[in-house]
Amino acid sequence: MHRRTFLATALGAGLTATALPATATSTATTQARAVRARTLDELRKAIAAAHPGTEIVVANGTYDAPGDETIAIQGKRGTGGAPIVIRAETVGGVTLTGNRGFVFGDSSYVTVNGFTLKQRTTFEIPTTCHHVTISRNDLQLADIEGMHWLMVRGDSTTVERNHFHGKSTLGIFLGVEGPGSDGMARGVRIVRNYFSDHTFAGSNGGEPIRLGLSGRSLSDAGALVEQNLFERANGDPEAISVKSTGNTIRQNTIRDSLGGIVLRHGNRSRVEGNFILAGSNGIRIYGNDHLIVNNYTEQIGGSGIVLGSGSVRDHKPEDSPESRQGNDAPDRVTIALNTVLSCGTAISGESQRTLPPLDCSITDNLLIGDSGKQLVSMPYLDGIAWSGNLCWGAAADGNIPADGFSRKDPKLAAGSDGIRRLTSSSPAINAASKSYPNVPKELDGQPRIGRADVGADEYSKAAPINRPLTPSDVGPTSR
């Protein structure tokens, strides 16, 4: 199936507000340890001499590394309390050009902060490194066909408050892989980054974030993708493409984009509290034991949520990496407490593959359709338990089982951020059909008290803690 039209063919644990550090540079370093570099040679010498706690400040300007020259970070080991920090004099004040830039190897607890990177080869964090932080950089690498911009293979890497933008050719902004042909880096954090303006027009291969590959899908990555903003992410139907196991995707905002959130391969991931607004694709799911909760999708051209079908029942460790490229039918997936508004279809399935979902549940979601389309279009119903969903609007109910929903006006009102939330007279309040002890908070970061309200929002007079992100909330200069 053409991946850019997957939703067209488909139609027919708790949420915690995370306090993020203002910068990744170490406050433990002192001015006495700072080393100033005014040329690339001075920078290389400062890195070679660096020890735990060293801060290297690169004077503002443009620096070109000709030919095969690099800025090597080899065998450098900071500590958790005293990292080695290499930073621009001011954020965005140092531009690095040339074929290659920073080249890591056998290093740990090193931070690269505040650079504009315009190199012509992939920036890599290899498996020999761990606890590397890439922070507050502007990545505008060469727009070369097939070139990925940042590839992370080292455990406990943090990629935070960077801006990836301006790619028109095949290749991803940020990939996470790992050792060998089937391993994954563990504990990678991708937080408060801004991904924008990927315009590759092919059918596959322009993801902003790709967590793994089909052959790595059974490897437990434990990645956290949190509070990132995606705008005009049009290089692939998958803005966040998950191809590994045990990840958390929460509080991200995807706006005005082709791409959505896709659990393409792997098991046991949690997709929670995301805003997907005015785009083409919502959330699509394959694999087992996922939790899809507290998400808000509005004005999606395709389906707000797609529970996929499979070409195989389950991928197994003894399978070859190549054989894992097929779609793993969803088993034991929970889709609960989501709000889906004004989409082509609120919740749909797929009929192009023969293996249906099994032991899945779709419960206590708020589904509103403002047009005459169907709210639910699910070709396989036997493997799904439905209860407590609230439907409303001009759209027909579709084939949602009669005992799985009620039709009532949820009485929503738009806030200053444009998000439609419950009002005090809403029938969704305290109306959930099930209890959710593993979902203590809702979309806005407010606690769920007593019996949950239907949908992503729990009625509250308090101001939301979490809102859709804007460019000022993310990227190199964000607070």
Q: What ranges do the domains of the chain cover?
A: 122-410
Give the pTM: 0.93
Q: What's the pLDDT score for residue 29?
A: 38
Give me the average pLDDT of each 10-residue run along the chain (479 residues): 41 37 40 84 98 98 96 98 98 97 98 98 98 98 97 98 98 98 97 98 95 95 98 98 98 98 97 98 98 98 95 82 82 98 97 94 97 91 97 97 98 97 98 97 96 97 96 97
In the chain, how many H helices and how many E strands? 2, 43
Q: What's the pLDDT score for residue 316?
A: 81
Distances (CA, A) of 5 to 206, 236, 281, 302: 15, 11, 9, 9
**Exposure pattern of 128-148 as b/e (b: 16+ CB <10 Å)?**
ebbbbbbbbbbbbbbeeeebb
Distance CA 243, CA 54 (A): 37
DSSP label of 429: T
Q: What's the pLDDT score for residue 326?
A: 84
**Exposure pattern of 22-42 as b/e (b: 16+ CB <10 Å)?**
ebbbbebbeeebebebeebee
263 within 8 A of 241, measured Cβ to Cβ: no
Distance CA 184, CA 341 (A): 36
CATH architecture of 122-410: 3 Solenoid (2.160)
HSE at residue 212, side-chain half, CA atoms within 13 A, is 31
